[in-house]
Every structure is written in structure tokens, then in C-alpha cells.
Amino acid sequence: MLAKEIERAGVPTVFVTSLPTIATMVGANRIVRGPAITHPFGLGEADRRRIVDRALEMLETDVEPTTVWEVDPA
């Protein structure tokens, strides 16, 4: 809901979550699937960097509504 409302205000927002189904249901548009509920940005710095890179790439991309991107495994 936060993602949707911030995007409604015109600010591109990537939602990193391990539950993209719920994010899709409520209408978030830019979704990156994180590895786990307890650590959506991974455990180590390398994982975190890959997830953040993917999220930044999505901010730089025009997307269709409720798009979900995966992060390539290391």
C-alpha cells in the first residue's frame, strides 16, 4: 500500500519483498523479490548489492503495472 501511494504521488518506488503475491494483489507496480521475510535484502553484503542493483535498474525502467522482477542467483 505504501508503494502504491508513493507512486500515486508520482515518485517511482521499488518494493523489495519476499511476498510479491501480496504486493501484486494490493497493486504495487515495481516489485523485486527478496530472498526471505526476515531479510529481504539478503544476509551478506554481496547479496545486498545484487538486490539493490536490481532495484535501481527497475527504478530506471518503465514498467507495466504490478511487474515482479527476480534477482539472479550469485
Partner 1 sequence: MRAVHYLNQFFAGLGGEEAAETPPTRLEGPVGPGRGLAAELRGIEIVATLACGDDYFGEHEEDALARLIELLEAERPGLLIAGPAFGSGRYGFACARFSRTASDRLGIPALAAMHEENPGVGSAEGTLLVPTAVNVAGMREALPRMARLAEALVSGRELGPPDQEGYLPRGFRRNRMAEKSGAERAVDLLLDKIAGETRTEVAGGFDRVPPPAAVPDLSRALLALVTEAGCVPQGNPDRLPTIRAQGWLRYELGGVQTLASGEYESVHGGFDVTLANEDPNRLVPLDTVTALAADGRIGRVHDVFYTTTGNGTPVASATRFGREIAAELRDAGVEAVLLSGT
Binding residues (CB under 8 A) for partner 1: these are: 1-19, 23, 25-27, 29-30, 34, 37-43, 45, 48-49, 51-52, 55-56, 59-67
| Minimum distance from residue 51 beta carbon to partner 1 (Å) | 8
Q: Least Å distance between CB 73 and partner 1? A: 18
Nearest residue (CB) to partner 1, 61 versus 73 = 61
Pairs from 51-58 (Cβ < 8 Å, separation ≥ 24): 51/16, 55/14, 55/16, 56/14, 58/14, 58/30, 58/32
